[in-house]
Copies of this chain bind each other. A is one copy, B any other.
Amino acid sequence: MSFQNPVFIPGPTNMPEHLLQACAMPTIDHRSSLFGDILHPVLDGVRRVLKSTNAHIFIFPSTGTGGWETALSNCLSEGDKILAARNGMFSHRWIDMCERHKLDVQVVETPWGDGLPAAKYEKILKADKNHDIKVVLATHNETATGVKSDIAAVRAALDAAGHPAMLFVDGVSSIGSMDFRMDDWGVDVAVTGSQKGFMLPAGLAIVGFSDKALAATQTATLPRTFFDVNDMQKGYDANAFPYTPPVGLLRGLLASLNMIEDEGLENVFARHTRIATGVRHAVDAWGLTLCANSPDVYSDSVSAIRTPDGFNATDIVTVAAEQYGMAFGVGLGEVAGKVFRIGHLGMLTDAMMLSGLGVAEMVMVDLGLDIKLGSGVAAAQDFYRHGS
């Protein structure tokens, strides 16, 4: 198996070699201060990336999905009421998890391609005079549709309604790649993973809890052990985990945080915007459109691109893999076959992005789409030349 080409799936991302090397460390005693020297700077660094001054950071050997479960099982009890919008596969899955945990979810069905409906949230919250709704779920970046939502607007809805519900945000494909403001937006639980903005292998659920969320754990009765944040906190206080920690991945996360802060968090965001804008120029040049319905919701970490009616967008992904050894993302759920996705998060360069666009063009021409070879590449080049 050789791995020459960059990948353009919306995570896991391409991994800078020194992050892989940081992960590939020999065994140390994970109950020693050596481990503490990795763990505590990691917790502090994650907190800074979340733009929080005092969030409680918890990291589990798991994935973003485990992060969702951490949020629910630590803060809620059977039958608790949840407000959520379904506007893509990942918001759908979180809703599904709520239902499996016997939570009572009020789902606002939302067109796939739209952002979260903050106005509808406000109306519902205002109507909930008894404050039965315990939590509002919000998917910051819908990886399935390439849609970024306005979390500040969701917070404003809560505030306008004077509603005390907690705000849980899935930032799996935004945190570390796009601006995320845990404190400013009044986020109570923020969830991400290691394999997106942090450019690491999958294997970590990374979660931030507000004081309010942490307080909620005292009364929440959903069963939890592996994902128990209070056990985890007790572990951290002793330089440990309640079970064996994934030491190498945490060391990789420390290296990733250093890398991000060396570049500068805002510079990282600007770079993602820049690369993504080039991709959007290419999509225009191809005469195609995004799944995302308006520029204000265009994601800077992934673009879902609609293909013409009657065309199976999944074929693009298949041919790219088989013919050119390059990985793109398929459409999921409601947009399966209708879109293909170009992931553009993590440590990308202009040059890497051009190779992705170049292959996408070849594949689309191979499949008979009316695309001019070089057209998208040229549009992106033209944008990249003039920089950010």
Interface residues of A (CB under 8 A from B): 1-7, 9, 11-18, 20-21, 23-32, 34, 37, 60-66, 68-69, 73, 96-97, 100-102, 193, 195, 201-203, 222-228, 242-249, 259, 321, 324-327, 330, 347-352, 354-356, 358-359, 361-362, 365-366, 372-375, 377-379, 381-382, 384-385
Contacts and interface: CB of A to CB of B under 8 A. Distances in A.
Contacts of A2: 16-18, 259, 347
Contact of A375 (B9, B15, B73, B374): B374
Given A14-B26, A244-B11, A366-B385, A4 B101 contact: no
Contact of A347 (B4, B25, B384): B4
Q: Count identical subunits in the complex.
A: 4
Contacts of A223: 73, 100-102, 222-223
A365 B377 contact: no
B3 A26 contact: yes
Given A24-B21, A327-B29, A377-B374, A359 B352 contact: no
Contacts of A7: 27-29
Contact of A249 (B34, B201, B378): B201
Contacts of A63: 61, 226, 243-244
A365 B355 CA distance: 18
A265 B378 CA distance: 36
Given A5-B349, A202-B247, A15 B23 contact: no
Given A23-B23, A64-B243, A354-B354, 13 more contacts: A1-B28, A2-B347, A9-B29, A12-B30, A63-B226, A65-B242, A69-B225, A351-B355, A352-B355, A361-B381, A365-B385, A374-B377, A375-B378
